[in-house]
Amino acid sequence: MLAKSLSNISLLYPETKEGSIVQIDSLISIVLSPEIRWYDTLRWGEDPLENLDGDNSYISYLSHLAWMIGNYKKVGGDDKYNELYHSLCKTMSRRIKASDILNCSTYPGEYIYVPDMLVAIVALSEYLKYYNGKYSTIVNRWIHKAQTEWLDKNTGLLVSCLSELTGIIEDMDVKGAYSALNCYYLVLIDDNFAKSQYELLKKYFIKESPIFGLNEYHNYSPILGFDIDAGPILFGLSPSGTAFAVGSATYFGDSVTRKKILKTAEIAGSTCVWNEDRHYLLVNVALVGEAIMLAMRTTVNFSTTVSK
């Protein structure tokens, strides 16, 4: 998310590109480190980069790394990662096509998490822009199946999870955090699909009071709870879902929704200024949240005008 933020900011403010190249390069180096790869190695039993010809998925690690390299290229980075970039996207495309339902699991023995799969589709859709449309077929196939086969029957939103064997899980409700994140990734791939999903997201998940934001559940609103992905839930509100919704609101120029969510973010996070840097005080608890909010707030669509 920080790499994406730097890429966004470079498009908004071209004078920052040189610095962004250096910073994104350093972030890619961190993700390539054995320490970061170790988590997936533990889950899958082998290093995600040492057997790209194999059949284990590793879709989350590979896709995030490929997406970062795509952003490195977008801001003007050199060709140092080209060979790895080609290998990552070739491997993801092959493994997705080999799946009976065109999806790969993040970890063995678990559901397929649709937002994780969408990172792979985002990465491939970025790649095809640089290499004459390569992998456009798999991207288009995935989006078509998403629009026709993987929509929740109650809300029309893209489902949160899929079964590796059967596809849609009939008794699983969509979640606010996953749905908002799905919408954000879709704005990077397909404007029309993303727009229709964003309108459904607002219809089923927006909560106006006692504080504005997104519910984690569309059919009930617990006063207090906890979700492993959304975080602590207060009055039904989803911290993660509310933050992710800023991306789509910014992209589509929905300034009303955006301003309301940013007001909530300020109440919850409390901006502070130190040595000319601005941060949310809450960052001391959830560092990733600040990176996410920066990426969402800078989501670029030059066909609309939204305050930065």
Would residue 102 count as lying in a domain?
yes
Q: Please check whether residue 184 lies inside any domain of the structure.
A: no
Q: Is the pLDDT of residue 183 over 70?
A: yes
Predicted pLDDT of residue 307? 41
In terms of domains, do 154 and 25 share one? yes
Phi, psi of 103 (to 5 degrees): -145, 155
Q: How many CA atoms lie within 13 A of 47 on its CB side?
A: 10
Token digits of residue 44: 């899958």
Shared-domain flag, residues 104 and 213: no
d(CA 46, CA 89): 19
**Locate tokens 């890429």: which residue?**
7
What pLDDT score was predicted for residue 271? 72
**Same structural domain, 88 and 197:** no
Can you give the residue range of the structural domain that contains 289?
A: 191-308
Give a yes or no: residue 179 inside a domain.
no
Q: Which of 174, 205, 221 is the last residue of a domain?
A: 174
Instruction: Check whether residue 138 and residue 33 sit in a common domain.
Output: yes
Among candidates 185, 69, 182, which has minimal Cα distance to 130? Answer: 69
104 and 3 housed in the same domain:
yes
Kindly state whether residue 186 falls inside one of the protein's structural domains.
no
**Strand, coil or helix: what is 224?**
strand
pTM for the predicted model, two decimal places: 0.91
Measured between alpha carbons, how far is 194 from 247 in angstroms, rounded to an integer?
11
Residues 94 and 160 in one domain: yes
Tell me: do 268 and 220 sit in the same domain: yes
Asked if 95 and 55 count as a contact pair (C-beta separation under 8 A), the reply is yes
Residue 246 lies in a domain: yes
Query: Are 169 and 195 members of one domain?
Result: no
Has residue 265 been placed in a domain?
yes
User: Which H or E run includes 233?
Assistant: strand 231-234
Same domain for 14 and 156? Answer: yes
Nearest partner of 114 among 219, 205, 186, judged by Cα: 186
Instruction: Report the mean per-residue pLDDT for the chain.
Output: 90
**Residues 196 and 136 placed together within one structural domain of the fold:** no
SS3 for 34? helix
Task: Count how many domains the chain has.
Answer: 2
* pLDDT, tens only, 134-164: 999 999 999 999 999 999 999 999 999 999 8
* SS3 of residue 237 by DSSP: strand
Q: Is 60 exceeded by the pLDDT of residue 189?
A: yes
Question: Shortest CA distance to 151 belongs to which of 196, 184, 109, 116?
Answer: 196
- Token reading at 9: 């900011």
pLDDT by residue (tens digit) across 208-257? 888 888 888 887 777 777 777 767 777 778 888 999 999 999 999 999 99
Tens of pLDDT, residue by residue over 78-136, are 999 999 999 999 999 999 999 999 999 999 999 999 999 999 999 999 999 999 999 99
| Token digits of residue 50 | 């040492």
| Residue 181 located in a structural domain | no
Clarify whether residues 145 and 92 are in a common domain: yes
Judgement on whether residues 61 and 124 belong to the same structural domain of the protein:
yes
Whether 243 is covered by a domain: the verdict is: yes
